[in-house]
Amino acid sequence: MELLGEHISRIVKISRDGGYEYPYINGQNLKILMMQLSAGEYKLRDKEYIELLLAIEKLYNRLRDYDKKHELIKLCNEGFYL
């Protein structure tokens, strides 16, 4: 995703309690982006909005697949929430 691009880090360790570790990358992260969007400090263009939704869907699918394989992450019945 161009908006986040190289600022998305690979997760290197997932704990049984759902926590995870990843290397620090200087730049934007999803939590900061969410806060900026909520505060009206940043507005997504249509293309960026679609790219963000696709990136979140890809993350969800990868976490779900990881959970099926390792049974470490427990997702609630209603879905995964960021």
Does the residue 42 lie in any domain? yes
Q: Tokens for 53, please give them.
A: 């939704």
pTM of the model: 0.49
Nearest to 60, CA basis, from 40, 38, 79: 79
User: What is the pLDDT, as a whole number, of residue 40?
Assistant: 92
Does the residue 78 lie in any domain? no
Average confidence (pLDDT) over 58-72: 75
Looking at the structure of the chain, the number of domains it has is 1
Instruction: For residue 38, give its domain range.
Output: 5-70
pLDDT of 26 higher than 80: no
- Sign of the CA dihedral with 74 first, then 11, 48, and 26 last: positive
Does the residue 80 lie in any domain? no
Does the residue 77 lie in any domain? no
| Cβ 51 vs Cβ 3: under 8 Å | yes
